[in-house]
Amino acid sequence: MKNFLSHLVDGISIFFFNLLQKPYKLPPNFPSQLCSYIESWRKASFKEYYYPDARYENKITTYIANAIDRQNQLTFPSFIRSPHSFSNYATFELYPSKRGWHQAPTMILLHGLLSLSLKGYIKWVRWLNNKGWNAVIMHLPYHFQRKPDSFSLFSPSCVQPNIVHTMETLRQSVIDLYIFTKGLRLMGSPLIGAWGISYGGWIITQVACLEKTFHKLILVEPLLNIQHVIWSSPIGKEIRRKLKRLGISHSETEPHLRLACPSFSMPKVRGDNILIVGGQFDPISPPWILKKIQEKWEAKHLYILPVGHLNYTLTPESFKLASKCWKDDFSIDDH
């Protein structure tokens, strides 16, 4: 029964996602645009792809370090400027614990694609606060305050058939998060952890591969094999249909994977501080991918539960498992 329900829920959600991709049209010269983009980064290192300008970094991290104690929501201009001004401001909701930013560890939460509300995360923000952690929720591009007013729920523009746009949105997200963590470290945060689901897990992992930023990683159904997501999984059906129509195959995108795909990189986090939680029936981030990543990263904690990709089970389970794996870090009762 769980198998049937998982497939049903995933099927409906995946159909909806593919439906949202239909209005996006690629120009006839998109193959040359894609080729030029990939070629422009062919010789770049991972750090060159994601590091912002030093002057921007110094200015914004100083602002974050000085402002975080005085605000409930922190915003700053993104280093990567998209064509959509409404999504060009990094936005972070701040929930300090009783001990505050200087003394308590901080957990940053990143939602998935097409998230409808932040309300579901508030419960876990309070849980983290009660365990002595500061909590932060990041608004990903085209979601919540970073979406156009014409979209009452969300904008599907974060990931679309225009892979150049998708990659630049990835860079924007990664740099936004990287800059925020640098500001936390400049301010004197003793420890930073990150929790991410699906697309949010992709962003977190890329930041974790840049520097020794995070002490703990909790990855829930993370998108770690982007080649599979686009070219093999059901959620990439409409994207690859539009790409194939222009003669673009996986071989054209493959050279860029070393910069965009977490499975090609190694997070700068000890294996015993990485927790990966997946779904047994997940067609987007299937168990075989997570197991291969676990082996490569030497991640100590991998749990596969009997659910699909879209579910309300793995979020609470991931925090329960974090408490089990790292008892000392979540043993404080700060009521």
Place of tokens 């499975």: 263
Rounded to a whole number of angstroms, the distance between the first and last alpha carbons of the chain is 39
Q: Are 288 and 280 in contact (CB under 8 A)?
A: no
Using a cut of 0.85, tell me whether the model's pTM lies above it. yes
CATH architecture under which domain 2-330 falls: 3-Layer(aba) Sandwich (3.40)
Angle at 323 between CA 319 and CA 329, to 5 degrees: 115
Indicate the average pLDDT of the chain: 93
Q: Using CA atoms, how far apart are residues 202 and 221, in angstroms rounded to an integer?
A: 9
User: What number is the average pLDDT over the span 98-112?
Assistant: 96
Contacts of 100 (CB under 8 A, 6+ apart): 69, 134
User: What number is the average pLDDT over the span 5-19?
Assistant: 75
Closest CA to 93 of 128, 63, 137, 146: 137
pLDDT band at 118 (very low <50, low <70, confident <90, very high): confident
pLDDT score of 150 = 64
pLDDT greater than 90 at residue 14: no
Worst-scoring range by mean pLDDT, 136-145, 229-238, 264-273?
A: 136-145
Q: Are 122 and 129 in contact (CB under 8 A)?
A: no
Residues 166-205 pLDDT 10s: 999 999 999 999 999 999 999 999 999 999 999 999 999 9
pLDDT greater than 80 at residue 149: no
Q: Using CA atoms, how far apart are residues 333 and 18, in angstroms rounded to an integer?
A: 44
Worst-scoring range by mean pLDDT, 39-48, 60-69, 195-204, 324-333?
A: 324-333
Q: Are 263 and 291 in contact (CB under 8 A)?
A: no
Residues 246-281 pLDDT 10s: 999 999 999 999 999 999 999 999 999 999 999 999
pLDDT greater than 90 at residue 116: no
Higher per-residue pLDDT: 84 or 274: 274
